[in-house]
Amino acid sequence: MKLLINTNLSIPCKEFKWRFSRSSGSGGQKVNKTDSKVEIIFDIKNSKFLNEFQKIKLRKNLNKKLVNDCICIIVKDQRTQGHNRQLALKRMAKLIKDTLNKKTIYRIKTKPSISAQNKRIEEKKKRSELKNTRRFRYFEGNYD
């Protein structure tokens, strides 16, 4: 079985690591017996089906979601493990597809205009003057 990302990319299920544990969600009498929580892990670095460009793009765009260069998705929405496995696969496919299709937007460096610079300096001068008027000054004169 393969996880279809797009027409050019499909990842076999042997690339994924699965972990199952007891879910803290809804359930009945068997809530403490069944391992319905599903965790799917995809190792980007050791993947044989992604090229280097795709690996770099995934690492760059999923920077905050990666743990040890792995994508980890946890699903505990449904009561059965089978449903949670299907949801996990769908979410993994959507995440990888959206990340690979995302266009990188580069920031064009600009300088502030001269009027904006002058306005900033004027505001700083006003603020400085306001603070100077609040300052306590000693009287340096004769008390006679």
pLDDT (0 to 100) of residue 63:
81
| pTM greater than 0.85 | no
> Does the pLDDT of residue 119 top 90, yes or no?
yes
- Say how many C-beta atoms besides its own lie within 10 A of residue 123's C-beta: 10
> d(Cα 86, Cα 1) in Å, to the nearest integer?
12
pLDDT (average), residues 126-136: 90
Among residues 73, 67, 86, 79, which one has the least CA distance to residue 3? Answer: 86
Q: What is the pLDDT of residues 64-117, one digit of tens each?
A: 888 888 889 888 888 788 888 899 999 998 988 888 888 877 889 999 999 999
pLDDT (average), residues 25-42: 72
Q: For the domain covering 2-101, report its CATH number.
A: 3.30.160.20
- Domain ranges in the chain are 2-101
Rg (CA), the chain: 29
Q: Which residues contact 41 (CB under 8 A, 6 or more apart)?
A: 16, 17, 18, 19, 70, 71, 72
Is residue 47 very low, low, confident or very high in pLDDT (cuts 50, 70, 90)?
A: confident
High-pLDDT (> 70) share of the chain, %: 88
> d(Cα 100, Cα 76) in Å, to the nearest integer?
26
Residue that is written with structure tokens 């949670």 in the block: 84
Instruction: For 66, list phi and psi in degrees, rounded to 5.
Output: -85, 140
Q: Which helix (H) or strand (E) holds 66?
A: strand 66-67
The average confidence (pLDDT) of the chain is 83
3-class DSSP assignment, residue 87: helix
